[in-house]
Amino acid sequence: MVSTAKAPALTEPSAAASPPPRPGARRPAVRRAATVAATIVRRTVALVAFFAVWEAAPRAGLVDPIFLPPVSEVVPALWDLAAGGQLWSDAETSLARSLSGFGLAIVLAVPLGLLIGWYRPVAELLNPLLELFRNTAAIALLPVFILILGIGETSKVAIVLYACTWPILLNTISAVRNVDPTLVKSARSLGLPAPRIFQKVILPAAVPTVFTGIRLAGATAVLVMIVAEMVGAKEGLGFLINSSQQNFAINDMYAGIIAISALGLLFNHLLVVIERRFTRWRTDIGH
């Protein structure tokens, strides 16, 4: 006898439920966020403390607020100068002068430094002259530049060129002379000619030290330009600071100083980014 009982209906399998997130799944992201926050705190705590002392010292009577106003009074002056356009105009003028002298210094000092560092006869010929001028401060020669080139743009660019040449030149010479001799001997054992050794060994190994000199020259370019603009200039951040001091606009004077610091910080950051771009091979070798 055939059974008439029906087979139980097959039900469709239900969608698999997604597994609950593991307790430790978010820990790497939390750790990264904590690391970033700790880095920001480490890099800003000294700056925050500095501005806090600046704000508190005049208000507590530790210094005369007429000559050192609180930073809360300087920031509005900085904003007014920026809103009126004077700050941007002066910053643009100073930056153009600094970059002109700085760029010329790179074009002249890097090839000359490579030449002096690589060829001993050239070094023996030029070393006495280098020793004479490297110990002469650029600011001390500012009156000479003004007498010879006038008080126009040429003298300002020339003094920046002179000041920036030495850190770039000396670091480039040191970079070439301090290349690992083992690398040079290995290249020679492979039969590479001197021009190829210079291109494939000396230049890549010298790049980090050369950029150290370029970064030092970048800071020098801004500082020397500000001093040059305080003498015989009608615009620029140096002129802004000097004229504000003479007119007893103390808040504007400190606003100009803060603008110079920000400009130098930005300049240095751009040079660091460029340096990382040109020395990326160093991390590639490590991998």
Domains in the chain with CATH codes: 31-68 (no CATH), 72-286 (1.10.3720.10)
* pLDDT score of 287: 38
Q: What is the pLDDT of residue 285?
A: 40
- pLDDT of 206 reads 83
pLDDT confidence of residue 21:
54
Instruction: For the chain, list residues with pLDDT below 70.
Output: 1-26, 280-287
| pLDDT in the model for residue 20 | 57
- Closest listed residue to residue 236, CA positions, set 161, 165, 153, 158: 153
- Tell me how far apart the alpha carbons of residues 102 and 216 are, in angstroms, rounded to a whole number: 11
Give 160's contacts (C-beta < 8 A, 6+ positions apart): 97, 98, 100, 101, 102, 105, 221, 224, 225, 228
pLDDT tens sequence across 143-182: 888 889 888 888 889 999 999 999 999 999 988 888 777 8
Tokens of 163: 């000041």
pLDDT at 168: 93
pLDDT at res. 22? 57
* Radius of gyration from C-alpha coordinates of the chain: 30
Can you give the pTM of this predicted structure?
0.77
Query: Which residue, 90, 75, 108, 27, is CA-closest to 251?
Result: 75
